[in-house]
Amino acid sequence: MSLNRVLIAPARYVQGPNVIANLKEHTDKLGDKVIIALSAGAKKRLEATINASYGDVKPTYHVFNGECSKTEINRLAEVIKAENFNVVCSLGGGKAHDLAKAAAYYTKRSVVIIPTIASSDAPCSALSVIYTDDGAFEEYLFLPRNPDLVLVDTAVIAKAPVRTLVAGMGDALATYFEARASKQKDCTTCAGGVATITGQALARLCYDTLLSDSVKAKLSAEAGVPSQALEAIVEANTLLSGIGFESGGLGAAHAVHNGLTVLEESHAYLHGEKVAFGVMTHLFMENAPMEEIETVANYCLSVGLPIALGDIGMCNVSDEDLMRVAAAAAAPTDTAVNMPFHVSAETVFAAIKAADAYGRMKHSQH
Ligand SMILES: [Zn+2]
């Protein structure tokens, strides 16, 4: 049986400095009763700007407790139904977006995602990650469609912590290599088919953009301004990587990330930081050409992304603990099985050790 080629994406993507100041213009295309899920901190920072855009009829703000749990999803869904909101927005980081996507899905409303950091490729996806009330991972909720609008204000992102932007580069760095591996095996992607040539091309464009513009973008963020390079990297981190992972396929880099979360030491590091080390491991698992490994490692060093275990708090990790990481990464339910060769806990373990040795060598030369 041959699978169909499938590509999914948000219905509309808008990016630029100060786009939040015109939020009403964008939500008017979808409905007239707007609720915005956000943290107390985000509300404090952006409420006045948003209210100015709406004039007399202000949107309603729904402050959530910081967790995308079933309790919080139900609480938001009840408010949406009781007051018949027809546009559900989220403003902030990943958990606010996961919450809005899930509540909008259960109440069949339009959803608008407004990221205030560019730390991962989650905003564009048709996926919510659900946690318990205590913040432990519970399940993935695969949604029937992507957000109706993703609105990215680069003036806001330029002033966000620079570390979040760099972590987004780490998440985006995985996209091309994972899509390339998935294609070699003709895997089914999150989009529910095999990758289109479009999805593959966007994944490649994501990598090329990172290589050409990351250092300039990081400097712009340090200066707090949305330069053209920052615009390019925000788009790569959010849109290219978002479509690239979802419609291009995942591989060992994210499986290694997921494995690393088994160890407490990794919890102080951002998703994309762990993914960057996952990319190095992925390349060693593939026995990628030395030239490519050098390019990726030099790239990581140029922006400050991890290339060795010590960079993610695991200087003294034992082989027993690393084997637990490797076993989790090689689980049949994770995405290392998308690699175009057999992956066992032993092969993941070997690749982690080899990538770490190489990363330490690079650090000693630097
Ligand atoms: Zn990711």
The answer on 169 and 206 residing in a single domain is: yes
The answer on 186 and 304 residing in a single domain is: yes
- DSSP, res 69: B
Is residue 246 a part of any domain in this protein? yes
Q: Does the pLDDT of residue 361 top 80, yes or no?
A: yes
Output the CA 121–ligand 1 centroid distance in Å: 6
Please list the active-site residues. 171, 254, 257, 271
Contact 303, 218 (CB under 8 A): yes
The answer on 257 and 208 residing in a single domain is: yes
Q: Does the pLDDT of residue 250 top 60, yes or no?
A: yes
Contact 91, 116 (CB under 8 A): yes
Extract long-range pairs of 319-325: CB within 8 Å, 24+ residues apart: 319/349, 321/263, 322/349, 322/352, 322/353, 323/349, 324/259, 324/262, 324/263, 325/256, 325/259, 325/260, 325/262, 325/263, 325/349, 325/352
The answer on 325 and 292 residing in a single domain is: yes
pTM: 0.96
Kindly report the CATH number assigned to the domain that includes residue 70: 3.40.50.1970
Which range of residues forms the domain containing residue 79? Answer: 13-158
Identity at 187, one-letter amino acid code:
C
Is residue 309 a part of any domain in this protein? yes
Q: Does the pLDDT of residue 187 top 60, yes or no?
A: yes
Is residue 47 a part of any domain in this protein? yes
* pLDDT at res. 139: 84
Reading the block at residue 349, the tokens are 């373990």
Q: Which residues have a beta carbon within 5 Å of ligand 1, which is an ion?
A: 171
Output the CA 237–ligand 1 centroid distance in Å: 10
Sheet with 149-153, edge to edge strand ranges: 13-16, 149-153, 110-115, 87-92, 34-38, 60-63
Is residue 6 a part of any domain in this protein? no
Q: How far is residue 359's CA from residue 277's CA, in Å, rounded to a whole number?
A: 9
What residue has token string 């213009």?
25
* pLDDT at res. 108: 98
156-166 mean pLDDT:
97
The answer on 207 and 96 residing in a single domain is: no
Q: Does the pLDDT of residue 366 top 90, yes or no?
A: no
1 falls in which pLDDT band (50, 70, 90)? low
Three-state secondary structure call for residue 91? strand
Is residue 344 a part of any domain in this protein? yes
Residue of 99 and 132 predicted with greater confidence: 99
Kindly report the CATH number assigned to the domain that includes residue 321: 1.20.1090.10
Output the CA 120–ligand 1 centroid distance in Å: 6
Query: How many domains would you assign to the chain?
Result: 2
Q: How far is residue 173's CA from residue 196's CA, in Å, rounded to a whole number?
A: 20
Output the CA 168–ligand 1 centroid distance in Å: 8
Q: What is the pLDDT of residues 197-209, one digit of tens each?
A: 999 999 999 999 9
Is residue 94 a part of any domain in this protein? yes
Output the CA 234–ligand 1 centroid distance in Å: 15
Domain stops at, among 99, 132, 158 = 158
- DSSP, res 116: S
The answer on 182 and 42 residing in a single domain is: no
